[in-house]
Amino acid sequence: MLNKVAELLKEVESFAAKNIEELEQFRIKMLAKKGAITALMSEFRNVSNEDKKAFGQQINNLKQTTQQKIIALKEQLDQTINSSNKKMDLTRSAEQVQLGARHPISVVRNEILDIFSRIGFMVSEGPEIEDDWHNFSALNFPPEHPARDMQDTFFIEKEVALRTHTSSVQVRVMENQTPPIRTVSPGRVFRNEAISARAHCIFHQVEGLYIDKDVSFADLKQTLMYFAKEMFGEKTEIRLRPSYFPFTEPSAEVDVSCNICSGKGCNVCKHTGFLEIMGCGMVDPNVLENCGIDSSVYTGFAFGMGIERIAMLKYQVNDLRHFFENDLRFLKQFTSAY
């Protein structure tokens, strides 16, 4: 498998395009949904455990090298076209054309996925409209659980609703794959909540799942510590508080030190110096059995975070509603490589 990555890397490094059309064909061949790199990523589950880390790093390096090569070739071709075109374009606007910026939620989402891809997590996605089994029952929610009420869930029909979390994607992955499983599930979710500086009825999540033999809570803690330091900086601190979720046992809430107020206390962290960013825990054996995985052989951990909450911390934004108002004065502040 590593030989395939090396061959593609050699092809990327030696590639040269004569025109924009050749460059676009190369981009589609390598980076499209059915491209060579995506095909390699889909074979990750077939790689042995001892090779997964090296394979994940090599694929990530290949993808970054390909993107950089395409950008560099495009700049060269654009310069060649501009230098050969000596005539003035009288139809061109006199004002300087400004490039747009990615939405901050997209920037943070991509950065989160990139961090977890470095340690072997693959991306999985699913439908936003879910049935009761994938959204509640398979995840160990009892029939009387308040999350099933209209107060918390947007129901379309009796057994069909807008998903309240991307854990439903994890259920689909567990039903269709055999361990080891290591995946992150990004997506938009919906809950019938009051809109405020800290909450919204529509928001975005990234949930992670790791199932294998002998997975422990220590593995979970170190994974989350790695993520927090990569996202917020080496000096970031985390703390885990005991909590309850139907689909994990034991469960915990994860807080990171608030960089909006530097731990002094503000309205975002409720003057505690820490801000909750996610819930986590060891996957409940009932959930494993519901999805056809033998809980006597396999264990696993799961975690889930709101992308808006991460973006608020990263960019020191004190009101979540800014991300949904599409104010160009706010959005123009964000530029990123992701």
At residue 1, the pLDDT reads 62
Whole-number Å distance between alpha carbons of 194 and 184: 28
At residue 268, the pLDDT reads 65
Cβ atoms of 298 and 213 closer than 8 Å: yes
Q: What is the pLDDT along the chain (338 residues), one digit of tens a residue?
A: 667 778 888 888 888 888 888 888 888 888 887 888 888 777 767 777 777 777 778 878 888 888 888 888 888 887 776 665 556 667 777 777 666 778 889 999 999 999 999 999 999 999 999 999 999 999 998 888 777 776 688 989 888 999 999 999 999 999 999 999 999 999 999 988 888 877 788 999 999 999 999 999 999 999 999 999 999 888 888 999 999 999 999 999 999 888 777 777 777 677 888 888 899 999 999 999 999 999 999 999 999 999 998 888 888 888 888 898 888 888 888 766 55
Strand order across the beta sheet in which 160-162 lies:
129-131, 160-162, 155-157
Q: Cα 185 to chain center, whole Å?
A: 6
Would the pTM of this model clear 0.85, i.e. be above it?
A: no
At residue 196, the pLDDT reads 80
